[in-house]
Amino acid sequence: DAGVIQSPRHEVTEMGQEVTLRCKPISGHNSLFWYRQTMMRGLELLIYFNNNVPIDDSGMPEDRFSAKMPNASFSTLKIQPSEPRDSAVYFCASSTTGANTIYFGEGSWLTVV
């Protein structure tokens, strides 16, 4: 079975540019999560969706970050404009509502120079 699929795997961009990260959750999963991982702050939950609706975005760092889930099989995390401090690994994860565990993608490694 295909797991959570993220793209791009690696991206290097210049400060001020728009960055769009993409995620395809596991088929049948109705909860989707975006995490960010850095050395300084570890793994942080940014936002999660249930049935395509954003439920909790309290982890989104600031207005430069936005996330959408237009349908059950696709989500985006956008950073505009990007800054060097946004450099991190961004993970997408999915699960079914109330499930014991979630399944992570391989991550998108973002470097903003």
Partner 1 sequence: DAKTTQPTSMDCAEGRAANLPCNHSTISGNEYVYWYRQIHSQGPQYIIHGLKNNETNEMASLIITEDRKSSTLILPHATLRDTAVYYCIVRVNTNAGKSTFGDGTTLTVKP
Nearer to partner 1, 38 or 80 (CB): 38
What is the enclosing helix (H) or strand (E) of 69? strand 65-71
Q: Are 34 and 46 in contact (CB under 8 A)?
A: yes
Residue 104: DSSP 8-state: E
Binding site for partner 1 (CB under 8 A): 4, 31, 33, 42-43, 45, 48, 56, 91, 93, 95, 98-107
Nearest distance from C-beta of residue 45 to partner 1, angstroms: 6
Nearest to 110, CA basis, from 6, 25, 26, 3 = 6
Nearer to partner 1, 4 or 112 (CB): 4
Nearest distance from C-beta of residue 16 to partner 1, angstroms: 28
Length reported for the chain: 113
Nearest distance from C-beta of residue 77 to partner 1, angstroms: 15
Q: Are 12 and 19 in contact (CB under 8 A)?
A: no
Nearer to partner 1, 48 or 65 (CB): 48
